[in-house]
């Protein structure tokens, strides 16, 4: 191809590669972080949407995003059963621990399987329900992602081995569950749970039941949360997540722009004489600026494609290694594209204008 822009890039492959890597890094950063945020949020939403209970009864601090407190007496379940409009109340202990490889966090729940499964219309699709103190069941997604299943073991509570005795579906709440008694035993919290799932009777508004629970002398003073709000609350429970993402996007744009600017600045210095020749040939300032911007655009475009490819590959590998969920959306992909290309074009603008402003005679005599 006899094209000045393309040939200039091909002439200095290492520099082009570094520029492409800079843009790709910015794009990949945006894609991975927003993909992770979206993936984890959607994953949580999917699993929460499978919870059939309308109300989560808990205590302050009992159900934070990364907490593993079992500070609620299971006796509240009996009291909740007595509240008008309550069909069932199932206590759950949630334990949060650091994820595989020290990356992210995972959850495990202790439940009375029969009551929990009946409440959420879940069933064991392979094996059986957990019964012993060293037994767990996992959902189909975890079995698939971790390439594990019935008969295998997994480590929880500081490396203690647990046998997988069953696989259940659909996914709901934590991906690993054991019996409530086993979890209480492991956490040395007999008679305690983290929260109680409350299913309301058909035709009764959850708001009315919530008010009744809050009014009942034996259950009042605790925290009542609607299941539908769980995802919203989880997002709220990570302070400044939106600000963090926006700051990240800004940083990615700056990284892309700086790398391209440095690369193009070097290019301009190297090609000073050529710029002088362009001027002698009668090239306008606009022509010279557009030539350099075209080069930056091409580099940014390649960086963008590489960035997308890296995001997809890294997302897949991280998911395989650590089970973290990535979901990429068009909106953030467009933002990443705008950052990659826009950052590149903006970064090249200063070197381009500087080149266009060079004195032709000085440029021609540049060694």
What does the binding site for another protein look like in residue numbers (CB under 8 A)? Answer: 2-4, 7-8, 10-11, 273-274, 276-287, 290, 360-361, 364
Three-state secondary structure call for residue 105: strand
DSSP SS3 for 317: helix
Residue whose CB is less far from another protein, 1 or 202: 1
Q: What are φ and ψ of residue 293, in 5° steps?
A: -65, -35
Report the number of secondary-structure helices (H) and strands (E) in the chain.
13, 12
Nearest distance from residue 352's CB to another protein, in Å? Answer: 14
Considering the complex, state which of residue 229 and residue 359 has its C-beta at the smaller distance from another protein: 359
Closest to another protein by CB, 12 vs 319, is 12
> How far is it, in rounded angstroms, from Cα 166 to Cα 185?
20
Provide, rounded to whole angstroms, the least separation between the CB of residue 291 and another protein: 9
β pairing state of 105-111 and 176-179 = parallel
Residue closer to another protein (CB basis): 9 or 136: 9
Token output for 236: 């709220």
CB of 342 to another protein, least distance (A): 23
- Phi then psi for 284, rounded to 5 degrees? -75, 170
Gap between the Cα atoms of 271 and 278, Å rounded: 10
Give every CB contact of residue 59 below 8 A, 6+ residues apart in sequence.
71, 72, 222, 223
Minimum Å gap between C-beta 328 and another protein is 37
- Name which of 4 and 247 has its Cβ closer to another protein: 4
The CA distance from 142 to 180, in Å, is: 20
For the CB of residue 262, give the shortest distance to another protein in the complex, in Å.
21
Q: In this complex, which beta carbon is closest to another protein, that of residue 53 or of residue 291?
A: 291
Report the nearest approach of another protein to the CB of residue 274 (Å): 6
């Amino acid at each position: 191809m006899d094209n000045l822009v393309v040939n200039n890039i091909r002439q200095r492959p290492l520099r082009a590669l570094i520029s492409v890597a800079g843009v790709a890094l910015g794009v990949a950063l945006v894609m991975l972080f927003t993909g992770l945020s979206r993936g984890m949020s959607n994953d949580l939403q999917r699993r929460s949407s499978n919870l059939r209970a309308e109300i989560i009864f808990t205590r302050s601090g009992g159900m934070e995003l990364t907490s593993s407190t079992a500070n609620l007496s299971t006796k509240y379940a009996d009291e909740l059963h007595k509240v008008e409009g309550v069909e069932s109340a199932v206590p759950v202990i949630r334990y949060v621990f650091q994820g595989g490889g020290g990356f992210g966090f995972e959850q495990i729940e202790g439940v009375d399987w029969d009551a929990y499964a009946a409440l959420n219309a879940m069933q064991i699709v392979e094996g059986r329900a957990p019964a012993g103190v060293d037994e767990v069941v996992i959902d189909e997604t975890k079995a698939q992602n971790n390439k594990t299943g019935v008969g295998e073991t997994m480590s929880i509570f500081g490396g203690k081995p647990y046998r997988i005795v069953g696989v259940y579906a659909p996914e709901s709440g934590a991906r690993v569950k054991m019996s409530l008694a086993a979890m209480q035993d492991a956490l040395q919290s007999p008679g305690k749970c983290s929260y109680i799932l409350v299913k309301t009777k058909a035709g009764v508004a959850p708001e009315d039941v919530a008010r009744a629970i809050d009014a009942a002398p034996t259950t009042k003073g605790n925290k009542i949360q609607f299941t539908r709000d769980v995802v919203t609350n989880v997002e709220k429970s990570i302070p400044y997540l939106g600000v963090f993402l926006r700051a990240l996007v800004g940083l990615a744009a700056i990284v892309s722009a700086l790398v391209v600017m440095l690369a193009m600045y070097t290019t301009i210095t190297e090609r000073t004489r050529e710029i002088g020749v362009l001027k002698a040939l009668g090239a306008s300032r606009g022509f010279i600026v557009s030539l350099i911007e075209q080069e930056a655009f091409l580099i940014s475009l390649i960086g963008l494609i590489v960035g997308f490819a890296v995001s997809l590959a890294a997302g897949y590998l991280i998911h395989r290694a650590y089970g973290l969920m990535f979901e990429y959306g068009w909106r953030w992909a467009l933002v990443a594209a705008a950052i990659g290309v826009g950052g590149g074009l903006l970064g090249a603008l200063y070197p381009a204008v500087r080149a266009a402003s060079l004195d032709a005679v000085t440029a021609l005599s540049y060694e």
